[in-house]
Amino acid sequence: DAKTTQPPSMDCAEGRAANLPCNHSTISGNEYVYWYRQIHSQGPQYIIHGLKNNETNEMASLIITEDRKSSTLILPHATLRDTAVYYCIVRHTGFQKLVFGTGTRLLVSP
Amino acid sequence: SQTIHQWPATLVQPVGSPLSLECTVEGTSNPNLYWYRQAAGRGLQLLFYSVGIGQISSEVPQNLSASRPQDRQFILSSKKLLLSDSGFYLCAWSGVGAHQPQHFGDGTRLSIL
């Protein structure tokens, strides 16, 4: 699976959009981009995933660059409950395991 | 909607004792099932996965085993726990399909004394 690079931490004001970047420059054509988050002492929560088109669901939007070498997770109106570690994961469709890196620790403040 | 249940939430066991952690999924059929472990301050490590009843694949050699006696039940076991088995154990499920996302339970925090 391709390696991902994320900033270790980010801050966001409550009510503002949180834009979390991820670099995956070695991604291959069969690899999807997945985003999860983990709140302390809980299991990871699936947020969104995509291959090459932008995706949106009730939680977030995923913007993938045309060359697929990077992506951005957008939380449109961050709340205090969005404070968590966010993981960007690239996984080949033929492999079962998710490889979690160190992620981005997002702190949403009032 | 689909839900995943893991129990117990926390467990304290002595070294050398047996272990059985259970995971069940509701609201879906023939899911892929997974056991992960997260050691303190580290990332998740896939231990086992299953694509069907009685089918278990092991990702890493270890002191643990897994079984899938029913379609939506996944069990993690050990005959004799080691101190190194301490950690946060997570069960996950995914739908059938190459890129389906995995959905995690709330985990079991296991401490070995």
Q: Give the pLDDT band (50/70/90) at residue B11.
A: very high
Is the CB of A102 less than 8 angstroms away from the CB of B43? yes
CA-CA distance, B89 to B104, in Å (whole number)? Answer: 10
CA-CA distance, B7 to A57, in Å (whole number)? Answer: 30
Give the model confidence (pLDDT) of B96-109 as tens digits.
887 899 999 999 99
The answer, yes or no, to whether residue A80 has pLDDT greater than 70, is: yes
Mean per-residue pLDDT, B69-76: 96
Distance from CA of A12 to the nearest CA of B (A): 24
List chain B residues with CB under 8 Å of A97. Answer: 34, 46, 49, 59
Determine contact: A98 vs chain B, CB below 8 A: yes
Give the model confidence (pLDDT) of A28-46 as tens digits.
888 999 999 999 889 999 9
CA-CA distance, B66 to B53, in Å (whole number)? Answer: 11
The answer, yes or no, to whether residue A6 has pLDDT greater than 90, is: yes
Put simply, the chain A residues between 27 and 86 with a CB less than 8 A from any chain B CB are 32, 34, 41-46, 49, 51
User: Could you identify the residue written with the tokens 């420059």?
Assistant: A25
pLDDT at residue A96 in the model? 78
pLDDT at residue A86 in the model? 97
The DSSP secondary-structure symbol of B59 reads S
Neighbours of A30 (CB within 10 A): 13
List chain B residues with CB under 8 Å of A94. Answer: 98
Strands B87-94 and B32-38: antiparallel
Distance from CA of A98 to the nearest CA of B (A): 8
Shortest CA distance to A20 belongs to which of A47, A43, A42, A1? A47
Find all residues with CB under 8 Å of A60, minimum gap 6, and list them.
A35, A47, A48, A73, A74, A75, A76
Distance from CA of B80 to the nearest CA of A (A): 26
List chain B residues with CB under 8 Å of A34. Answer: 101
Helix (H) or strand (E) holding A70: strand A70-75
Helix (H) or strand (E) holding A48: strand A45-50
pLDDT at residue A4 in the model? 93
Q: Give the pLDDT band (50/70/90) at residue B113.
A: very high
User: Could you identify the residue written with the tokens 């389906």?
Assistant: B100
Residue to substitute from B7, B25, B42, B46, interface A, most A β-carbons within 10 A: B46
Give the model confidence (pLDDT) of B33-67 as tens digits.
999 999 877 788 999 999 999 999 998 877 899 99
The answer, yes or no, to whether residue B32 has pLDDT greater than 90, is: yes
Q: Give the pLDDT band (50/70/90) at residue A65.
A: very high
Peptide bond into B8 cis (omega under 30): yes
Shortest CA distance to B89 belongs to which of B23, B17, B18? B23
Residue to substitute from A47, A91, A98, A99, interface B, most B β-carbons within 10 A: A98
pLDDT at residue A1 in the model? 60
**Least CB–CB distance from A94: residue in B32, B92, B98:** B98
List chain A residues with CB under 8 Å of B106. Answer: 42-43
